[in-house]
Amino acid sequence: MPVIAGSFDPAAVEWRRVTDPACTTFRVDFEYSLLGYDLPGGRLDMLLRYGRHGHCRPHRHVASTVTLVLEGEQFLTEMHPDGTTRSIHRRMGDYALAPRDALPHDEHGGEHGGTILLSMTAPDGILFEYFDENFANGWTLSITDYVESWTKGIPYGTAPRGPGLAMARA
């Protein structure tokens, strides 16, 4: 099981920044760090960090996911099949466990940002389904895709024929 970072200290890991200027509804702007993974076991651990007003691309977790808020806050807006939404607010120290096939959601940090630990288990290897800003035109991302993109230093989560993400090492 490869370990990329031996610490979840936000000051001690390598961060990579992701933005998407094509998204105009909100500002896709966050950083992530790969901590470790187990391809045969279907597990990936990572950190996600939002600055002030930075959002993740709309997505849903296909994998079972543990979330732990390490710093700041995390806000989610879940999209339900009937068109209603549910808001979730997590503060530093909050823990959550989501089953496989979670609802699509928008996710961002609080007024002073936020840093979260995500530990995901995906027996079939699929971590996320990403969407465009209208929560349509989905595409999936696997643990293998994620690890390969990290190794190559290229953006993860880009649509095969859709808008791309910009990424830089932080």
- 3-state DSSP of 62-94: CCEEEEEEEEEEEEEEEECCCCCEEEEEEECCC
Tell me the percentage of the chain whose pLDDT exceeds 90.
44
User: In the 8-state DSSP scheme, what is residue 135?
Assistant: S
Cβ atoms < 10 Å from Cβ of 93: 9
| Helix %, strand %, coil % of the chain (to 5) | 5, 50, 45
**Per-residue pLDDT tens for 149-163?**
888 887 665 444 344
Beta bridge partners of 31: 17, 49
What is the pLDDT at residue 42? 96
Residue ranges covered by each domain of the chain = 16-169
pTM: 0.84
Task: Give the integer Cα–Cα distance in Å for 20 and 165.
Answer: 5
Residue 133's alpha-carbon distances to 27, 32, 73, 105, 107, in angstroms, are 10, 20, 22, 11, 12
Q: Render 150-166 in DSSP notation, one character per residue.
A: HHHT--SS--SSS---E
- pLDDT band at 24; cut points 50, 70, 90: confident
Higher pLDDT: 123 or 136? It is: 123
- 37 sits in which H/E element: strand 29-38
pLDDT digits (tens, 9 = 90+) for 59-108: 889 999 999 999 999 999 999 999 999 999 999 999 999 989 888 888 99
pLDDT in tens, 40-51: 999 999 999 998
Give the CATH number of domain 16-169.
2.60.120.10
CA dist., res. 50 & res. 59, Å (int): 16
Alpha-carbon distance of 166 to 170, in angstroms, equals 12
More confident: 122 or 18: 122
